[in-house]
Amino acid sequence: MSLITQVKRIPKFYRGNAACPGCPIPRELDILIEELGEKTVLVVPASCSTVILGDTSGMPSTVPVVHSAFAASAAIASGIVRALRMRGDKDAIVTVWAGDGATGDIGFATLSGAAERNEDILYVCYDNEAYMNTGIQRSSLTPKGAWTTTTPEGKREFKKPLPFIMAEHKIPYVATASIAYPFDYQAKVRKAKQIHGFRYIHLLSPCPPGWRFDSSLTIEIAKLAVETGVWPLFEIENGEFRLTSVSKTLLDKKNRKPVIEYLKLQGRFSKLTEEQTKEIQESIDEMWEQIKEMVKK
């Protein structure tokens, strides 16, 4: 008789939900809830996740969910955590789970306000780089050159560097993560759970219909985002910056793959010219020069 027994994981976010094929959000939420535990309250503004979470007749989440107006999630989370603390509940983890539009655009005022007050909440931005749920309109976090329905010739502006903007709020913890590196993401959620005050995790979430790639390529594209240096994995804890996971090896440019390896798999970049691709590559190299300076400090 074999002594090897199979470890059975109990899902924290049930499958059979309304996510698109290849969407990483269910797995991202699975890891988040698994690490934060049962005393988690999710606050979710209007987004893809609102649809995926369903309604009272079939919700896949195993923890309570508060659906909020687009702009209000950080303010609502602030109120919930203060009410819980006043009732003596010191353990509940109130967590905003929001897309890039609700974070970088419509909800930025309440996000910035909550960070400035150092509210005791965790804010996770799952960044699929456009308003995917309402028809793939551009957001301030859509990358330069990307097609969306409101940028048919490609976005003209660069992506807003939101993790660095959040770091300027002097909050205790800021991190980036990727579903292609689940242990790195898991460790950052675990660390954020232990920290008091405002914590911010920015998670790149490739979107097959919005980025126009085959649904089987989600993890490969998420991995290439990191390997080409487009998406550096790092954390800033009490002002101290450090690279994490494979990004620690990418300070030297020769270790990074050319950005074209990442761009060519996505239909949203199919109209890029050689000159535009070169400009994107140069912007990535410039960002890594800035990262080098941050690592030295």
Under the banding of pLDDT at 50, 70 and 90, the label for residue 10 is: low
pLDDT exceeds cutoff 70 at 57: no
Q: What is the pLDDT of residues 75-119, one digit of tens each?
A: 999 999 999 999 999 999 999 999 999 999 999 999 999 999 999
Q: What is the pLDDT of residue 51?
A: 86
Backbone angles phi, psi at 23, to 5 degrees: -70, 130
pLDDT exceeds cutoff 70 at 5: no
Q: What is the pLDDT of residue 2?
A: 53
Q: What is the pLDDT of residue 17?
A: 81
Where are the domains positioned within the chain? 24-296
pLDDT (mean) for 53-61: 74
The closest of 257, 280, 260, 258 to 270, measured between CA atoms, is 260
Q: What is the pLDDT of residue 257?
A: 98
pLDDT exceeds cutoff 60 at 163: yes
pLDDT (mean) for 45-57: 82
Going from the C-alpha of 51 to that of each of 79, 98, 113, the distances in angstroms are 24, 13, 27
Q: What is the pLDDT of residue 6?
A: 60
pLDDT exceeds cutoff 80 at 13: no
Q: What is the pLDDT of residues 250-297, one digit of tens each?
A: 999 999 999 999 999 999 999 999 999 999 999 999 999 999 999 977
What is the 3 state secondary structure string of the chain?
Answer: CCCCCCCCCCCCECCCCCCCCCCCHHHHHHHHHHHHCCCEEEEEECCHHHHHHCCCCCCCECCCEEEECCCCHHHHHHHHHHHHHHCCCCCCEEEEEEEHHHHHHCCHHHHHHHHHCCCCCEEEEEECCCEHHHCCECCCCCCCCCCECCECCCCCCCCCCHHHHHHCCCCCEEEEEECCCHHHHHHHHHHHHHCCCCEEEEEECCCHHHHCCCHHHHHHHHHHHHHCCCCCCEEEECCEEEECHHHHHCCCHHHCCCCHHHHCCCHHHCCCCHHHHHHHHHHHHHHHHHHHHHHHC
Structural contact between residues 271 and 216, judged by C-beta atoms closer than 8 angstroms: no
Q: What is the pLDDT of residue 9?
A: 61
Percent of the chain's residues with pLDDT above 90: 87
Average pLDDT over the chain, rounded to an integer: 94
Q: What is the pLDDT of residue 289?
A: 96
| Dist CA 99 CA 137 (whole Å) | 13
Percent of the chain's residues with pLDDT above 70: 95
Q: What is the pLDDT of residue 59?
A: 76
Count of all residues that appear for the chain in the document: 297
pLDDT exceeds cutoff 90 at 16: no
| Dist CA 47 CA 201 (whole Å) | 17
Going from the C-alpha of 194 to that of each of 28, 91, 271, the distances in angstroms are 19, 10, 45
40, β-bridge pairs:
93
Say if domain 24-296 classifies as CATH 3.40.50.970.
yes
